Copies of this chain bind each other. A is one copy, B any other.
Amino acid sequence: MRIERMTTEELRKALTRDPVVFLPIGATEAHGPHLPLGTDSLQPEAMADMLADRLGGMVAPPIRYGHHSSTRNMVGTLGVNSDTLRYLVRDVLESLVSEGTTKIVILSGHAGHVHMAALKVAVSELLEEYDVKVMLLTDYDIAREIQGELGVPEDDGHGGMVETARVMALAPELVREPRGSGEFVDQRYMMIPNPEICYPRGFAGRADLATPELGRRINERIADIIESIVRERMGV
């Protein structure tokens, strides 16, 4: 259930069950010539809806802006400063807790290093003040755990086979053809002002090998894994 669609009274009643609240954190980011800019929003929102259904939870209003490093100069990446992201998530978490929420799962569609650190700090600050349970993860990392068994190459990355397949399963009308294949060019610890050169074609992986069927399997497996962790760790 999306919190936005509930009234005050409906939310009050739902909170008495002490439900898990999923906070989807998306992003607006260049994802190559074949994927939409909202790719990182689509995925965690779909996961959140699916998991809320399975677990009797609720979905908080999504955030659709994240922090971006390597793609920040590409057309279509609309990012915010990492501090802004931290404050935003901190405030939203605090609002959720002040409603009476005690179990929160943050699902981030974007997995950038600094982006995730901002979320981590936001959660840490919350936990210093409130005795609640918070899980922080990116479905991207869960996908990485299982990509081997699903036949996805090791070096699949941003906008690659996994992400393309997942969007093909969730919103096929938003995937453009042809999809092609891209690579990631490592800069070996050099910090550079033009990190987009790491992605000569704007993405990394065999997007051309993605299928809706693979996407459905990945989405399903991600949901299964998160469901299982939430049930175990949060006692749902």
Is A146 located at the chain interface by the 8 A CB criterion? no
Q: Which has the most chain B C-beta neighbours within 10 Å: A11, A84, A137? A: A84
The answer to whether B188 touches A78 (Cβ under 8 A) is no
Contact residues, A48-72 vs B (CB, 8 A): 60-65, 69
The answer to whether A189 touches B65 (Cβ under 8 A) is no
List the B residue with the shortest CB-CB distance to A33.
B9
Contact residues, A98-139 vs B (CB, 8 A): 99, 113-114, 116-118, 120-121, 123-124, 127-128, 131, 133-137
Q: How many residues of A are in contact with the other chain, CB < 8 A?
A: 77
Is A217 located at the chain interface by the 8 A CB criterion? no
The answer to whether A5 touches B38 (Cβ under 8 A) is yes
The answer to whether A95 touches B75 (Cβ under 8 A) is no
Check A88/B84 contact, CB under 8 A, given A37-B7, A113-B117.
yes
Is A221 located at the chain interface by the 8 A CB criterion? no
Integer count of this chain's copies in the complex: 6
Is A155 located at the chain interface by the 8 A CB criterion? no
Query: Please, which residues of chain B bring their CB within 8 A of the CB of A28?
Result: 3-4, 60-61
The answer to whether B74 touches A134 (Cβ under 8 A) is no
* The one of B65, B77, B121, B189 that contacts A137, using a Cβ cutoff of 8 Å: B189
Query: Please, which residues of chain B bring their CB within 8 A of the CB of A116?
Result: 113, 117
Quote the shortest CB–CB distance from A35 to chain B (angstroms). Answer: 7
Is A6 located at the chain interface by the 8 A CB criterion? yes
Query: Please, which residues of chain B bring their CB within 8 A of the CB of A99?
Result: 75-76, 78
C-alpha gap A83/B83 in the complex (Å): 9
The answer to whether A35 touches B61 (Cβ under 8 A) is no
A-B contact pairs, 29 of them (CB 8 A): A2-B38, A4-B41, A6-B76, A7-B31, A7-B35, A7-B76, A8-B74, A8-B76, A26-B61, A28-B61, A61-B64, A61-B65, A65-B88, A65-B92, A69-B120, A75-B99, A78-B99, A80-B88, A80-B92, A81-B91, A82-B121, A87-B87, A88-B88, A113-B120, A120-B191, A127-B192, A127-B193, A131-B193, A135-B190
Q: Give me the 9 closest cross-chain CB pairs, A-B, nearest first.
A: A4-B38, A117-B117, A80-B91, A61-B64, A137-B189, A78-B95, A8-B76, A84-B87, A8-B30
